[in-house]
C-alpha cells in the first residue's frame, strides 16, 4: 500500500462551515485550520474514527509552517504542512501556544 494517496476532494468544514476546494493535497480547512480524522496514511480514508482534528499549535520549519492537530474524539496527533491559502492570522495565534506536549512519537 502506498503511504500517500492524492485525492481531489472538495468538502465543507464540519467546524466552521467553510466550503474548501481540494487540490489533491488539501486535508484541512484554510479558514479555521480544522481537519477530520479520516486517514491512517495521507489520502487512504481508512481511519474509522472520523473525529474533528483541532489545530493545537504550529511548528516553524525551514520550508514553512507545520500545523499540529489533535483528534477531539480519540486523541490521535498529526502534523500537516500549512498551505499558502491558510489563514495567516490563525497560524500566528497558534504559533503563540507552546507545543512541548505534542510529543515526537506521533
pTM of the model: 0.86
Question: What's the confidence (pLDDT) of residue 11?
Answer: 94
DSSP string, 43-91: T----S---EEEEEEEEEETTEEEEEEEETTT--EEEEEPPTTS-HHHH
Q: For 10-49, write each residue's pLDDT tens digit.
A: 999 999 999 999 898 889 999 999 999 999 988 888 999 9
Dihedrals φ, ψ of 65, to 5°? -105, 145
b/e code 27-45 from CB counts within 10 Å (16+ = b): bbbbbbbbbbbbbeeebee
Output the average pLDDT for the chain. 89
Amino acid at each position: 500500500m502506498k503511504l500517500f494517496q492524492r485525492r481531489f476532494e472538495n468538502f465543507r468544514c464540519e467546524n466552521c462551515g467553510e466550503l474548501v476546494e481540494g487540490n489533491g493535497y488539501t486535508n484541512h480547512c484554510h479558514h479555521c485550520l480544522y481537519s477530520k480524522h479520516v486517514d491512517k496514511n495521507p489520502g487512504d480514508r481508512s481511519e474509522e474514527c472520523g473525529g474533528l482534528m483541532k489545530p493545537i499549535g504550529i511548528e516553524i520549519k525551514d520550508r514553512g509552517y507545520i500545523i499540529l492537530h489533535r483528534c477531539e474524539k480519540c486523541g490521535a496527533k498529526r502534523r500537516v504542512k500549512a498551505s499558502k491559502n491558510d489563514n495567516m492570522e490563525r497560524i500566528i495565534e497558534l504559533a503563540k501556544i507552546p507545543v512541548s506536549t505534542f510529543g515526537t512519537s506521533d
